[in-house]
A and B are shown apart, each in its own frame.
Chain A
Amino acid sequence: MSVKRIEAVNDFVIKFANVNGSGSASANELFARAFLRMGIPVSPRNIFPSNIQGLPTWYEVRVSENGWLGRRGGCDLMVAMNPQTWAQDLKEIDPGGYLFYDNTKPLPKSRFREDIHVVGMPLTEISNSAYTLPRERQLFKNIIGLGALAALIGLEPEVIAELIGEQYKGKEKLLKPNLNALQLGLNYAREHLKDAIGLKAKRAYAVGEQIFMEGNAATALGCVYGGATVCAWYPITPSSSVAEAFTNYCSKLRVDKDTGKNKFAIIQAEDELASIGIVTGAGWNGARAFTATSGPGISLMSEFIGLAYFAEIPATIIDVQRGGPSTGMPTRTQQSDLLACAYASHGDTKHVLLFPEDPHECFTMAADCLDLAERLQTPVFLMTDLDIGMNHRLCKPLKWDDARRYDRGKVMTAEMLDAGREFARYKDLDGDGIPFRTYPGTHESKGAYFTRGTSKNPSAIYSEAGPDYQYNMQRLLKKHDFAKTLVPKPLLTPSREPARFGAIYYGSTSPSMNEALESLAQQGIFVNALRVRAFPFADEIQDFVHSHSKVFVIEQNRDAQMKTLLVNEAHINPASLVSILHYDGAPITARFITKEISEIAAALNVRPIKRDKAA
């Protein structure tokens, strides 16, 4: 029986199944970067456990000359290096796909599948005969495997050698043995595994000016450019690398050349309560401040978030979303904090949320959050997630307009007070719901006020009077409504042909959605797609829903949280929305979206049989 053979050039999925702590990460990253150097877009994803050594970890690489950077779904080549997950990993391979494994120890035939192509190589044997130290044997086994894959797939060895050279610049001692190991792998595959795999990399020109960056680093850089001077945080996966990258960038970009002094203050706080407290204090006193956290941190911060909302204090909160509480799934991605953030805290609260799709938007939106927080005098959330935050993603280069000035919002200065301007901390003078504030220490006799949560009149004098409370609550609502004119607008991707269906999506779903829209169009299913980029919702979102018979809402959570927000806050009839939900912890795939939409569309397209009225 001849087994089908997947043949593809620059368009496939390769997955590495490893054990964490085995040194595979560095070889995996070299593999992905080699495609980029050959001008082929690639999108790698780490799927990792809450652990340092010993548990299964995967590295999935989407190669796509067309630039589809989302997960596709399925797997064309599995590099199965973890006996623990062997059976599960084998199942994932598409029929006609390939299994690459270490055949130093022979496995019974029953452990394989008949509808795939098995490519075995004695990696351990080769490594053990070339190296003596156990650590070297393990690490170089990964590089030997990389060499073999390069030969099998057609990655240019010079490109990988160049990348290894960059990695070990200044550490020449390590460079040579790595290059040797690479060569061992190349030689073996060229000799023994000729044309064993039908997936080929071919030099292309599809990467262009794009950059390859982690979302968390981009977020941190956005905070540097956006003028954040105070960062307070508590370690939590997957957000810790935001604060770490901020520390790193600040040490290079924010040290005063003349004095050697830091134009930043970073506090690793004792918990998330203190993190948001520090941010609140700094914001109250006129410095731009942010914290980075994840779902459990949001829960802990909620009391403070409410205070900042009611007392009208700017705060930027980066929420790198993940699976729920405790440990385990929390190192997997989700979009499951929307409701927790939109309504964080006790009392009537509503917060501004921004949804970046990739590192490029993490950068711009982080800076936007800092502006919005001061313009609106309120907490603003950047709703990123593990998929964007902790994976390298190809994206547009970062841009900054040097003419841009920070929007410090309505701050009354000593000069304005001396000129006789009215100051009442919580009074709406301009009709946008936003009052003026003063920084502490502004003026010797005017502008001082006492900051509290709820109980105050428009002049910030203590009051428990009902009308004072209601005035304030209505003004806060007006301010929130005004915010929709300031936040990033939704972006429409119109379908090539007129479409009955619409689709709403946001955040990290974006790249898979883009690919799904193309696959659907090829099937003759045309969908207009609207990417929501912020809450409160722009009016265009309501108009979009009204102009389609059904609108799919694609989300990475169980409870259709965006749909809930749309129904509650944009007054959309729930019957016009159809949820498509993905929440297994892995990033959503293009195949999943395509399948769901095509199935539902087919069902919706069934025309009811006309009854014979004459009968």
Chain B
Amino acid sequence: MTYLAKPRLHHPTLKKNAVGYTRRDYEGKVSTLCAGCGHDSISAALIEAFWQLDIQPHRVAKLSGIGCSSKTPDYFLGNSHGFNTVHGRMPSVLTGANLANRDLTYIGVSGDGDSASIGLGQFAHVMRRGVNMAYILENNGVYGLTKGQFSATADKGSKAKKGSVNSDSPVDTVSLALLMGATFVARSFSGDKQQLVPLVKAAIAHPGAAFIDVISPCVAFNNHEGSTKSYDYVRAHNEAVNRLDFWPSREAITAEYREGEVIEVAAGAEGGILKLRKLAADYDPSDKISAITHIARAAQKGEVLTGLLYAAPDAEDLHAHLNTYGAAFNTLGAKELCPGSGVLERINASLR
């Protein structure tokens, strides 16, 4: 479908948001990802979230690393600047961009290879620094662009398409983000628009480092016998638990479930399907220690919690930590920045 150009003309009666844009104005190029890829659902959620938040598209900067997920910033917010950076290094580029102009909204898109393997260091440190951004990790446990190798979030014991079995423990990005100091931490599922869109909106609005791990099944490389994320595997286990509406192959995976409920989807914990438990309605996301405990308890039961796990009520960002000037650095010139020849004369005098 990628050979079809999107029509440029929009219907005049399309609904506009408070800043005068239609939802179409938040779209990007046609996706070149596989049909049914969870990542496209996430792009759709981002489009919806920005439209609903009344943010002018050009006031958003989209940054990504390398990989399938990192290609997606081309598929939403076509009137925003985007930057497809270096594998695993989006966080540092986003940090620099944010320092240069604090007035834009920053969205970082990454994958599990990008953030949990090659970029684990930058992932951890960008959370520590509290860069004001919404960091979306599109998590499918597999390397798509290089055709099916394990990523660091792959389940122990799961089998790759080419036959090898993963013996390493998976990285839990949500726990890591919490421990590193992220002030907004959530987990969701690409197929659960009802949950994802409000989470993305909240992450964008959050004045600090906001992180969402979005489980996003790979339809191309994690759909074979032996994978704990294959459709067949899920289908087989689905009968046993009988909770999930199953999806036909090559169509986007969706799931709606209520607070406190558990579903099973094609992304898995050790020896089984990933069991997503939506946080109860009365869960208090302002308590970090409780969030860490909840995640650990759920993991013990083989479940993965979804929803807003933690949001610090008193979040601050890097600019606050560094006490930076109010105006964007990229608007400052010699008048504001150069101390001038008089000062230099005094410096010279002090060096004699």
Contacts and interface: CB of A to CB of B under 8 A. Distances in A.
A286 interface: yes
B341 A273 contact: no
Interface in B332-352: 332-334, 336-341, 343-344, 347-348, 351-352
Interface string A186-215: 000000000000000000000101111100
B97 A227 contact: no
Interface string A265-286: 1110111011111111111111
B83 interface: yes
A399 B351 CA distance: 14
B103 A441 contact: yes
B99 A278 contact: yes
Contacts of A113: none
Contact of B93 (A265, A281, A406, A442): A281
B138 interface: no
B271 interface: no
Interface residues of A, number: 73
A131 interface: no
B73 A281 contact: no
Contact of B96 (A213, A280, A303): A280
A209 to B, nearest CB: 8
B93 A277 contact: yes
Contacts of A406: 333-334, 337
Contacts of A399: 341, 344
Interface string B61-102: 101000000000110001111111110010111111111110
B56 interface: yes
A424 B81 CA distance: 14
Interface in A337-351: none
Interface stretch (A134-142, A168-176, A445-453, A507-515): A445-453
Nearest to A303: B86
A451 B340 contact: no
A269 B125 contact: yes
A285 B96 contact: yes
A287 interface: yes
B80 A440 contact: yes
A459 B119 CA distance: 30
A281 B343 contact: no
A280 B65 CA distance: 13
A307 B86 contact: yes
A232 interface: yes
Contact of B339 (A253, A273, A451): A253
B295 interface: no
A256 B329 CA distance: 13
B89 A402 contact: no
Interface in A446-486: 448-453, 462
A307 B85 contact: yes
B313 interface: no
A192 to B, nearest CB: 35
Nearest to B74: A450
Given A281-B93, A439-B101, A451-B82, A262 B334 contact: no
A225 B339 contact: yes
Contacts of A253: 339, 343
Nearest to B338: A225
B23 interface: no
B348 A398 contact: yes
A229 B61 contact: no
B3 interface: no
Contacts of A307: 85-86
B133 to A, nearest CB: 11
A397 B348 contact: yes
Given A269-B92, A277-B86, A451-B81, A441 B344 contact: no
A281 to B, nearest CB: 3
Contacts of B341: 399-402
Contacts of A243: none
A100 interface: no
A462 B125 CA distance: 31
A245 B348 CA distance: 15
B82 A404 contact: no
A261 interface: yes
A267 B129 contact: yes
A158 interface: no
Given A273-B92, A440-B80, A229 B337 contact: yes
B248 interface: no
Given A263-B337, A284-B93, A285-B96, A229 B86 contact: no
B82 A262 contact: no
Given A211-B352, A270-B121, A274-B89, A281 B84 contact: no
A285 B122 contact: no
Interface string B302-330: 00000000000000001100111110011
A260 B326 CA distance: 11
Contacts of A264: 324
Contact of A281 (B56, B79, B100): B100
Contact of A286 (B59, B101, B124): B101
A580 interface: no
A448 B80 CA distance: 6
A269 B84 CA distance: 21
A213 B351 contact: yes
A254 interface: yes
A442 B125 CA distance: 29
A430 interface: no
Contacts of B101: 285-287, 439-441
Contact of A263 (B91, B94, B332): B332
A263 B323 CA distance: 9
B104 interface: yes
A262 B92 contact: no
A402 B348 CA distance: 16
A280 B91 CA distance: 11
A68 interface: no
Interface in A294-327: 303-304, 307, 311
Contacts of B340: 400, 402
A441 B81 contact: yes
Contacts of B74: 450, 462
Given A263-B337, A450-B73, A270 B85 contact: no
B58 A262 contact: no
A560 B322 CA distance: 44
Nearest to B348: A397
A560 B30 CA distance: 52
B96 A444 contact: no
Nearest to B337: A227
Specify which of A224, A260, A443 lies most central, judged by the most chain B CB atoms within 10 Å of its CB.
Answer: A224
A450 B73 CA distance: 9
A266 B339 CA distance: 18
B145 to A, nearest CB: 13
B62 to A, nearest CB: 8
A227 B344 contact: no
Contact of B79 (A402, A445, A453): A445
Interface of B: 56-59, 61, 63, 73-74, 78-86, 89, 91-101, 103-104, 121-122, 124-125, 129, 318-319, 322-326, 329-330, 332-334, 336-341, 343-344, 347-348, 351-352
5 smallest beta-carbon distances between A and B, as pairs:
A281-B96, A277-B92, A286-B330, A287-B100, A440-B81
Given A284-B96, A440-B104, A444-B79, 11 more contacts: A261-B324, A263-B325, A273-B122, A282-B97, A282-B100, A286-B101, A398-B348, A399-B344, A405-B334, A441-B101, A448-B78
26 contacts: A36-B352, A211-B348, A227-B334, A227-B337, A227-B338, A229-B329, A232-B92, A232-B96, A259-B325, A261-B324, A263-B332, A274-B122, A275-B92, A276-B92, A277-B96, A281-B99, A283-B96, A284-B100, A289-B96, A289-B100, A398-B348, A399-B341, A448-B81, A450-B81, A450-B82, A452-B84
